[in-house]
Amino acid sequence: MIQSVESAALLPALEVRGLRKSFGTLEVLRDVSLSVARGELVFVLGPSGSGKSTMLRCCNRLEEPNAGDILLAGDAVTGQGVNLNAIRQRIGMVFQAFNLYPHLSAKKNVMLALRKVRRMNRADAEARAVEALTQVGLAEKAESYPGKLSGGQQQRVAIARALALEPQVMLFDEPTSALDPELVGDVLEVMRDLRAAGMTMLVVSHEMKFARQAADRVIFMDQGQIVEQGTPEQIFTAPQHPRTQSFLSRVTGD
């Protein structure tokens, strides 16, 4: 049942309860629970294989959880009878790989979901695509093809594609890990702008400086579980769990 606007405003934008996921005999997520408030930027840290990306992919059912519940402003994401097409319009996702169609211009890459999913007419879809590209600072590249864009520009087109559907929540799965270091800053700047505009974001990344500066809350995962969470100040300056301490000392050199 869709929540009223008034009641939805009181609920977490995204809530994960008791999430479990296994691949064969490998248990990747073990009773993961978290919530993201409306307008909050939550940053997820952890070593490779800790379940971070799998948790994100479960949030829009790209991976099917074995157990647990996921709620989007109180509406079920998991369970029988969920309209996944409708849910995925409300949850934008940006991947490590840009996943752009090479034969389509930046504008047409952004327009595609608007035409196919939203069933918008061409003129409206084009206007919305240009608006989204402007939002990420790429209006002048609207007619450029992915092969003519830098990695950072391609990722910003991918962000624009997600934003064009006007999602309630944005999920970012290692959005800068495929980029050359000098291109990372432009993508992070777009994410800072989104945060300032009030977008709700759940971000998996190793960009520690960005996490310190931009996150409202930091979650540390290890071996499929949430080990510790707190403000960036708490996690980076005075982590309580030995595993968090060990991880941060290795990746930050502190």
- pTM for this structure? 0.92
Q: Which residues contact 18 (CB under 8 A, 6 or more apart)?
A: 31, 32, 33, 67, 68, 69
pLDDT for the residue 7:
58
pLDDT for the residue 194:
95
pLDDT for the residue 9:
65
Digitized pLDDT (tens) for each residue of the chain, 254 residues in all: 555 555 556 789 999 999 999 999 999 999 999 999 999 999 999 999 999 999 999 999 999 999 999 999 999 999 888 998 889 899 999 999 999 999 999 999 999 989 998 899 999 999 999 999 999 999 999 999 999 999 999 999 999 999 999 999 999 999 999 898 888 999 999 999 999 999 999 999 989 999 999 999 999 999 999 999 999 999 999 999 999 999 999 887 55
The sign of the dihedral angle between the CA atoms of 223, 228, 229, 232 is negative
d(CA 205, CA 207): 6
Q: Which residues contact 67 (CB under 8 A, 6 or more apart)?
A: 18, 19, 20
Ordered DSSP codes for the chain: -PPPHHHHHHS-SEEEEEEEEEETTEEEEEEEEEEE-TT-EEEEE--TTSSHHHHHHHHTTSS--SEEEEEETTEESSSTT--HHHHHHHEEEE-SS----TTS-HHHHHHHHHHHTS---HHHHHHHHHHHHHHTT-GGGTT--GGGS-HHHHHHHHHHHHHHT--SEEEEESTTTTS-HHHHHHHHHHHHHHHHTT-EEEEE---HHHHHHH-SEEEEEETTEEEEEE-HHHHHHS--SHHHHHHHHHHH--
d(CA 154, CA 142): 11
